[in-house]
Structure formats: structure tokens, C-alpha cells
Amino acid sequence: MVVLLQLQNFSYAYPGTGTAVLQDVNLEIEAGCCYCLTGPTGSGKTTVALALKGLLDSVDCSGTIDRFGTPDTREVRVGLVLQNPETQLLATTVGAEVAFGLENLCVDPQAMPARVEAALSLVDLCKPLDYPVAMLSMGQKYRLLVAALLVMEPQLLILDEPAAQLDPQGLAALCRVLSDLKARGVAVVLCEHRPGPLLEVVDRFWQMDGNGRLFPGRWQAPEAPPAISAGQAGTDFADAPALLQVRDLSFSGHGTVPVWKDVCFDIHRGQCVVVTGMNGTGKTTLLRVLAGFLKPGRGSIRIFDGEPEPRLLRRRLGCLFQNPQKQIFENTVREEIAFPLKRFGWPAADRAARIEETLRLCGIEHLIDASPHKLSYGQKHLVAIASVLAPAPEMLFLDDPFAGLDGARQRDVMDVLDSWSRERGVTLVITSHDPEQVPGLADGHLHIEGGRIGWR
Amino acid sequence: MAGDSFSRLHTALAQGHRRDDGPAEPGKGISLPVGVKMLLALTLSCVAFVARSGVFLGALTAANAVVFLLLRPQGVSWWRQGRYFVLQSSTIVILYIIRFGSLEGIWDGLLISWQLFLAFWPTMIFAKTTSQTKIVRAMNRVMPGHVSFVLATCLKFAPHLLEEFRDIYEGQVLRGARILPRDLLKPWNWPDLVHCVVVPAVVQGMALAGNIALAARARDFGLYSRRTCWPGD
Amino acid sequence: MMKQLAARLSNSLHLPLKDALFLGFCAVFAVLVRMLLRLHLHVSGHAMITKIFFLMLGRGSTSCRYGASFTGLLAGTAAMFLGFAKVGPFIIVKYVLAGLVIDLAALLLPGLFGSYLLCALVAAAAASTKFFTVYAINRMIGMDHVVNLQRSLLEAGGAIIFGVAAGLMIPMVVRRLRAYGVVR
């Protein structure tokens, strides 16, 4: 097999950090092979991908990257699709998006349409070139990005966490594309901590050990907690007071088609309800309407026996929207947890005790004086959760709190929420985009589909 | 409420770049090439500065009216434009009355106000009758490729950043930050807005800029000093 | 030819794409937040608070010596193309002039973005460019000299007050960003 790329004793540390993310990494990539790089969240998989693409600053690197491209250039054309499709879609139409790379390579504009059409057919995305990107589903957007790389005729294609972006049908389509690419001699590297659905195309595994070292073999993620259906928990909430009552609720936003309509449900004290639905079905919108930040088109909401009004809800309702780390703003974890307590008038002596108790229950008491901006992704997540739990809200809205976390971190977050829910009677409303991953602590399951919300 | 304002602005921005270049829903006006429209807008705008007499202004007004009828822009708020004209005129007319006396001052003041109004009107019509994608393509012709890419990309991702800003704001409200509109009437609450919302929003902006830059470089943006341009649909 | 000249100038700035995009966001939001203030608060004439804030933020958060001017160029262009420019293409001059003042001040005063007093003074200076731009535009349309002077002073006075308010927010923001480690 022809070797395309080799990393030898490659190490890298991000500027300003003390520890190396990659340490003495050795790997070799052959044409036509599919490799899967596994490892826990934060272990350096994306950094390896960036190194292979040549996007890391050479000043902070040591070791060598050898490229064995064409005899005249020695350059290897590498295509890289990063994790979040939304921040990689740089144009407004399908044709312009795929052609972006060709523009950067100064390809003649006359030659672009044919190459764009060919790339789109490779990923089986049959849309007109003027089709708006915003109207594609998440799976289609991901395939569009793959097409946008394939149009540049890469010899190595790197995909970072593709399973997180695609539903089962999308993954099946991706498998077909990858098999086809391998047959054409293109090497593929998948950075994935849950490679399950893509196993059939993988030829070799590597694993990151969490200390920056790479080994052959596959890292196995701890199993996510098993799903249980509504009512299986054995707790009957019918006698508990209803904290949230929704009747005939509809919301259309600024369009004419309702996002959802005729929604009716009750949520009782101490209950944990998961709201599932695909991306774009209105889960976040539902939380914002229930919290009073958006007015519904029709229907009524009673929360804590009153109208949803943020000014009145803020002591009793906590809310953590997607990517909760973005709410962190204080200089230490202690100050971050203290902020809501100060605003809600907690006395200083009570605040100190409450902060320590909250951090202990979240398992991060050792980080009390650390800067929250220098913590890992999972630790920041827990700090953000602790900061909304500290004032002891009666109800908590959590918008996709497990997104971006590997199995171990998901378990940590779930344990924290479970203990607060069971021991302190906090009512939880959690949204998730994956109906197959209803957390083990759910007492009820609402599902959004086709503009309707109903119990499952 | 604040949430509705974010939603209106977000929707307006998002719709701006949901329009595509190809067979969009048929507009009511005639379709002119973007370059022609841009030149027309700039010319009419600049001519307003030299239209000193009533006759010249009348002719220019007629020219603008013809362009308006031909292009038929959607979403022009006559209330907002009228209110702006009245507010601007009143200041100028009052100053002219003080300077020259009543009748002469009123007429001169109104002429000057009308001139200023006609200076901005054509560029507003241009923006209302041209999709953002076409605006970007027009910018590509007069600005360096990298600079027009930066502006176009930032316009495209502005709704995304606005959503982040909204999420931060709403999350912080429920954490007790004193940043609701009635809270912000008191200046001693303004530091909460800066610390809890503005600073995290700036951090998110930097992070987004970094992610976009990485995505662009992953597709070899910046490999060469010049870029070609997708011919469109 | 103009495009090639501009390209050469742009290349000489050596601005990393990440910084250029962040300045672009500052520019776009300098225009859009102004629109939001009008939409919801119906507060017109407070354009200077957003203009000065985002121009100074652009310069204070990046290492680009022309950060404010570049932000101003982009903001003026965005305002013109989005139809928010009351004075047509001259909106670009208004933004760039204020940006140049900020860039010059940042060059001469190394501790600028850590000091409330210096930020307030620089913000006032940048906001006062409104006098010159308004005067020049009114002169071009033939406004009477005395009326022009009075109107320009009125507008500049209000602009300076709001500009100073914006300038006073900058040290709070920049200090926090430095504490987080996202800005050096």
C-alpha cells in the first residue's frame, strides 16, 4: 500500500497551556485505508486531525510530519470536516458552498459547475445548485460538507465526530460514500468516540489514552445509562402538585406554519421529563415559551400557579441553554456559583456554605478557586450546572445538556441531576435531539414530531 | 418583550440570507444586474448633494420615484421613513427660521432636509431589492476577495451570534442578573449587562471567529493571494 | 485597478483570518445593535454608543494596529449595503474617521484599554469627528454656514456624551477578556 502521510514523535501543546495535548505520536496513513481514531472527549483526537491537515502552528510542534504526495510536489491533498457543521457552512446556496474550496484553489469559474455537480452526486445529494443551505436537514448539511471537500479531490479525507451529526440513515449513506472513496484509493480517518455505526468501513483502529499518547487498538466508551420508558421508574406523580400546566399551546414565530400546535401536558413536582425531537422541531423554542421569553400564538401556560414571567420566575426556575459554558463569566468557580446567590439576597455566611455544598454534590469541590475558563469541556459543563443548582430552584430547564459529552461525562452529569431530582425534589425538564438516548432518570417522555407534542 | 425583539431581528437577518440566487419567488419589479443597481444607487445618492434648487430636487425626486416604481421594493416602512424625515426636518427648519426669519427659513430648511433624505433613499432601495448573496457578489467586484469574504461571512453568521447572545441573556436573567429592560433603566445595573452578557457574548464571538477561520482554512482559504468566484446559478 | 490596490493594502496588514472575522463581527454588530435599539427601545440618535463601543472593542481585543479603522471600513460598508446609511456612501468616511482616531490613540497610549479616563477621552475624541463629517456633508449640500455650524455642534455634543458612555464600558470588557486569557 502507498504511504501518504507519516507522523513521527509528533508532540503539540496549545499556546498558553502547560501540558502537551499530543505526546510522541507515531502513525502512518496508507492510501485506500480507513482508520478510526478513538478516545474520550478532550483526549486530542481533533488535534491529530488538525495536525494531519497542517493547521497547527509549527512553533508549538515538535517531531515531524512527512508527506509522500505526487513525485513533483510531495504535497498530499487533505480534506477535513470538523465537528460542528453549522460553523463550517460558509455560503448560502448549495452550489456556492461546494464551490468555496474551488474558489480558494483559483479554479476557472467555467469549470466549477461540472465539478460541483460531480461532487454532489458522489454524496448522493440531489439538490439544485441554487438551493438554500439553510433549508437542508442536518444530515444533508453534513453530506454537503463532505461534497465540499471531495470537490477538491483530496487524497486523505478526515471526518471529526461524524456519528454525532447524522441519524442512522445518514450514517448508512456516509458508509456507502466512504466505501466508494476507499475503492478509489482515498484514505479516510474518522475521529470518533462512538464508531459503532461506521465499524463496517473501518480497517484499523487507534486510540488516544487521555495523556496525549496514541496506541493501536480501539478505546471503548463506558456504556450510556439504559433508557427506561415512562412509568417504569415506579413513581407515581399524579398526586404531586402540577407545577407546569399547558393547554392548547401553539407557536408560529414569524412564519405562517406553526412550529407546534394544540400542545397539552402537565408536569408535576419532582418529575423528570425528557422532551425529544429532531433538530429544528422546536425543543428550545418550547423551553423559551414556557419560561416566558416568547409569547405563544395561542393557548395558556400556568407555571407555579402564575403566568410565565421571567422577572417573577427567576428565583424558582433555573435554565441552562445549549452549550452552557457560554454563560460562565466570573474569574473563579467560587465567584461563578456565588453570583446568583448574591443576586437573590443570600447572606454571606450562608453563601459560603451553599457554594461548598453544591460543588461537593457536583463532584468538583477541588476546583473551587480555579479559573472556570481554563477547565476542560466537561468540567466547565459541571460548573455551569452547579451555578444554576446553587440557588435551589424548584424547577430546572436543561436544553440538550449531554451534547458534546462522552459516556463518562454524561454519566457524571446524569448522576448530579438524578441526586438533585430525587433527594431535593427538583423538577427537571430536559430536551434531547436523540430519541434513542432518553436518560435513565426520566419519569416521562414528551416527543415532538410533525408539529405535535405528545407523551410516549 | 426583549425576547420578541431578538426574534424579530434574528428572523429579519436569517431571511436575508435564506434568499438564493436562482429562481427565487418572482419579484414584482424589474430585475436589473446588481452592478447596475449599485451604480444607479450611488449616482442618485451623490447627485442629491449637488441638487441645490427646487427644480433640480424635483427632477431628482421624479427620478427616484421612477426607480422605486420599476424596482418595487418590499418591506419599506413609510411610517419609519416619514418619521425620520419629520424629525430631521424639524431641527433644520427651526435653525433656519432662527437664522433667516420665518418664510424664507422654512423653505430653505425643507429643501436641505429633502436633499439629505434623497441622499440615503437610493441605497436603502438598493438593499431592499437585492439579496445578500448578490450584494456579496457585487462587493467582490470592488473589494479585495479576502475582505469581501470577511464581511459576507460575518453578515451570514450574525443571526447565529445573535442566538448565542439571546441564550446568554435569557440564561443570565434566570440566574438573577439585573438586565431586564426595566432593570436597565437604573444605571447601577449596567455593570451586570457588561459582565454577564456583553463579555460572554464577546468571548463567543471570538470563539465563532476562530471556528469559522479554521473551517475556511480547512478548505485552503488563504492558500493563494487571489480567489476566483463561483459564477452563480 | 482600485481593487488590486486595495488588495495590496490588505495584504500588507498581515491580519490573521480569525482576527479579521472578529473585527467583521464587531463591524456588523456596530450596525445591527443600532438597529435593535431603534426597533425595541425606539431610541434614535444613539448611534454613537454602538459605533464607538465596537470600534474600540475591535482595537482593544486584537493585536491589529489598524483594528478600529478596519472595523470602521467594514461597518460603513455593511451599513451602506444594508440600507441603514442616512448619508449614503459617506457613512464609510464617518466610521473610518472615528476608527483612525482610536487607532492613533492606541498607538500613542499603550495603556489605553486599561484606563477608564483614557478610554473616555479617546471615545470623546472619536465621537467628536461627527462634527467634521456632519459639517462637511452639510456644506456639500449647500447648507447655510451658520446653520451648519449650529447643527453640527448640536449633533456632535450628543454624540460625544454617548461616545463617552461607550468608552467607559471598554476597560471593564477588556480587563475581563485578559483575565480569561482570550486576549493578551
Instruction: Check whether C180 has a pLDDT greater than 90.
Output: no
DSSP state of A306: B
A234: closest CA of chain B, how far (Å): 32
Q: Which residues of A touch C63 (CB under 8 A)?
A: none
> Which band of pLDDT confidence, cut at 50, 70 and 90, is reported for residue B7?
low
pLDDT recorded at residue C105? 96
Please give the backbone phi and psi of residue A272, each rounded to the nearest 5 degrees, phi first.
-120, 115
pLDDT cut 90: percent of chain B above it: 23
Please give the grid coordinates belonging to residue A243: 407545577
- Looking up residue C34, the CATH number of its domain turns out to be 1.10.1760.20
* Pure H helices in chain C: 2-12, 17-36, 47-61, 67-82, 91-108, 116-127, 129-141, 145-180
| pLDDT tens sequence across B44-57 | 888 887 887 888 88
The span from the CA of A181 to the CA of A179, in Å, is 5
Q: Do B1 and A288 touch (CB under 8 A)?
A: no
pLDDT at position B26 is 41
| pLDDT number for residue C160 | 92
Q: In one letter, which amino acid is B125?
A: I
* pLDDT tens sequence for chain A (456 residues): 789 999 999 999 887 767 788 999 999 999 999 999 988 777 889 999 999 998 988 777 888 888 887 665 667 899 999 988 889 999 989 999 999 999 999 999 999 999 999 999 988 898 999 999 988 888 889 999 999 999 999 999 999 988 877 777 778 888 998 999 999 999 999 998 777 778 889 999 999 887 889 988 887 766 555 544 444 344 567 778 889 999 999 998 766 677 888 899 999 998 999 998 877 788 899 999 999 999 998 899 999 999 999 999 988 999 988 888 888 999 899 999 999 999 999 999 899 999 999 999 888 999 999 989 888 888 888 899 999 999 999 999 999 888 777 777 778 888 888 888 888 889 999 998 776 666 666 888 898 888 888 888
Three-class HEC string of A117-137: HHHHHHCCCCCCCCCEHHHCC
Q: What is the per-residue pLDDT for A73?
A: 60
End-to-end CA, chain A: 52
Who contacts C47 (Cβ-Cβ below 8 Å, separation ≥6)? C34
Q: Alpha-carbon distance B99 to C134, whole Å? A: 19
Q: How far is CA A254 from the centre of its chain?
A: 27
Q: Who wins on pLDDT, C171 or A236?
A: C171
In a domain, C144, yes or no: yes
3-state secondary structure of B100: helix
At C2-32, the pLDDT tens digits run: 555 555 555 555 788 999 999 999 999 998 8
- ipTM entry: 0.87
In a domain, C133, yes or no: yes
pLDDT at B10: 53
In which band, very low, low, confident or very high, does the pLDDT at C115 lie, cut at 50, 70 and 90? very high
CA nearest to A31, candidates A76, A66, A74: A76
Strand partners, A431: A275, A399
Domain assignments of chain A as residue spans, ordered by start: 3-216, 242-455
Cβ contact, residue pair C21, B212, below 8 Å:
yes
Q: Tell me the shortest Cα–Cα distance from B122 to chain A, in angstroms.
A: 26
The DSSP code sequence of B118-170 is HHHHHHHHHHHTS-HHHHHHHHHHHS-HHHHHHHHHHHHHHHHHHHHHHHHHH
Tell me the per-residue pLDDT of B107-121, one tens digit each, with 9 for 90 and over: 878 888 888 888 878
C135 inside domain = yes
A242-455 to CATH, choices 3.40.50.300, 3.90.1170.40, 3.40.50.2300, 3.20.20.70: 3.40.50.300
**Which helix (H) or strand (E) is A216 found in, with range?**
strand A214-216
**Residues of C in Cβ contact (< 8 Å) with B89:** none
Structural domain that includes position C115: 17-180
Inspect the interface and report whether the beta carbons of B219 and A96 lie closer than 8 Å: no
As a whole number, mean pLDDT of residues C148-175 equals 91
A380-410: b (≥16 Cβ within 10 Å) or e: bbbbbbbbbbbbbbbbbbbbbbbbbbbbebb
Selected residue with higher pLDDT from C100 and A124: C100
CATH tag, A3-216: 3.40.50.300
Say yes or no for a CB contact (<8 Å) between A92 and B175: no
Best mutation target, A80, A83, A92, to test chain B (most B CBs within 10 A): A92
**Using a CB-CB distance cutoff of 8 angstroms, which residues of chain B are in contact with residue C88?**
42, 45-46, 48, 119-120, 122-123
More confident residue, B155 or C118: C118
- Give yes or no for a contact between A27 and A6, defined as CB atoms under 8 angstroms apart: yes
pLDDT surpassing 80 at residue B63: yes
Q: Which tens digit of pLDDT belongs to each residue from B187-211?
A: 899 899 999 999 999 999 999 999 9
* CB-CB neighbors (< 8 A) of C176 in chain A: 329, 331
Contacts of A329 in chain C (CB under 8 A): 176
**C-alpha dihedral, A387 to A389 to A395 to A396, nearest 10°:** 50
Q: Which three cell numbers stand for residue B225?
A: 493571494
Strands A444-449 vs A242-251: parallel, antiparallel or unpaired: unpaired
- Chain C segment 42-101 residues within 8 A of B by beta carbon are 44, 57, 61, 74, 77-78, 80-90
pLDDT of residue C167: 95
Residue A222, H or E segment: none
- Across the interface, of B112, B123, B158, the residue whose CB is closest to C80 is B123
Return residues 11-30 of B near C (CB < 8 Å).
13
Cα B150 to Cα C151: distance, rounded to the nearest angstrom: 36
pTM metric for this prediction: 0.85
Q: How confident is the model at residue B143 (pLDDT cuts 50, 70, 90)?
A: confident
Residue A409, all three cell numbers: 461525562
Position C8 scores a pLDDT of 55
* DSSP reduced 3-state for A453: strand
For residue C5, being part of any structural domain is answered with no
In the numeric block, the cell 468608552 is attached to: C167
Looking from the CA of B140 toward its CB, the CA atoms found within 13 Å total: 19
Put simply, the chain C residues between 92 and 111 with a CB less than 8 A from any chain B CB are none
Looking at the partner chain, which of C25, C84, C86 has a beta carbon nearest the beta carbon of B154?
C25
Across the B/C interface, how many CB contacts are shorter than 8 Å?
A: 180
Q: Within a domain: residue C55?
A: yes
Chain C residues whose beta carbon lies within 8 Å of the beta carbon of residue B139: 77, 81
Residue A433, C-alpha cell as written in the block: 435531539
Q: Taking CB atoms and an 8 Å cutoff, what residues of chain C touch B42?
A: 88-89
User: A3-216 with A242-455: one CATH topology?
Assistant: yes
Q: What is the pLDDT of residue B111?
A: 83
Cβ–Cβ below 8 Å for C181 and A329: no
CB contact under 8 A, B125 and C78: no
How many whole angstroms separate alpha carbon A59 and alpha carbon A15?
9
Residue C134 confidence class, pLDDT cut points 50, 70, 90: confident
Say what the pLDDT of residue C43 is. 53
What's the pLDDT score for residue C19?
92
Statement: residue B9 has pLDDT above 60: no
Contact list in B for residue C143 (CB cut-off 8 A) is 92, 112
Please tell me the distance from the alpha carbon of residue B197 to that of residue B215, in angstroms, as a whole number: 27
Q: Which residues of C touch B221 (CB under 8 A)?
A: 17
Pairwise CA distance, residues A243 & A395, whole Å: 8
C21–B221 CB contact, under 8 Å: no
Total number of domains constituting chain C: 1
CB A264 within 8 A of CB A286: no
In whole angstroms, give the CA distance from residue A333 to residue A18.
20
Are the beta carbons of C89 and B45 separated by less than 8 Å?
yes
Interface size, chain A vs chain B, as Cβ–Cβ contacts under 8 Å: 186
